[in-house]
Amino acid sequence: MYISIIYNDDMSKRKTQMSKLNMKKLKRIPKFKNEDEERDFWAKADSSEYFDWSKAEEVIFPNLKPSTQSISIRLPVNLIAYIKQLANKRDVPYQSLMKIFLAERVEQEYRK
């Protein structure tokens, strides 16, 4: 291990120096028999002993669908009828239209 002082503003050199200072021997990831075994391992293991998180990159999964949960909600009959009429005009299922309306309204509230 060594320390060097950098007086200029070259961030890449600073990062290189800092990563050398923080560098440690990473453990090897074991082979797993199945997903349950792997899940149990990572639930207990400190991932920083296996990965250098300073080199991690942000990733976007555009095709990943969010998890959904079923709920039960009581609505006035006339409100459901209006929503069904609007959905029929737009040629979408009424429950999908309700999700769109709800998501739009929640987004508006968050922007306030």
Residue 15 near residue 22, CB atoms below 8 Å: no
Task: Using the structure block, give the residue that is written with the tokens 């029929």.
Answer: 88
Question: Quick one: pLDDT at residue 112?
Answer: 86
Question: Quick one: pLDDT at residue 13?
Answer: 52
Question: Is residue 25 in a domain?
Answer: yes
Question: Quick one: pLDDT at residue 16?
Answer: 55
Counted domains in the chain = 2
Question: Is residue 49 in a domain?
Answer: yes
- Domain that residue 81 falls in: 77-111
* Residue 51 and residue 17 share a domain: yes
pLDDT tens over the chain, length 112 residues:
444 444 444 455 555 545 554 567 899 999 999 999 999 999 999 999 998 888 889 888 888 888 889 999 999 999 999 999 999 999 999 999 999 999 999 999 999 8
Grouping H, G, I as helix, E, B as strand and the rest as coil, residue 11 is helix
C-alpha 38/C-alpha 30 separation (Å) is: 9
- CA 92 to chain CA centroid, nearest Å: 29
Residue 84 near residue 94, CB atoms below 8 Å: yes
C-alpha 4/C-alpha 17 separation (Å) is: 7
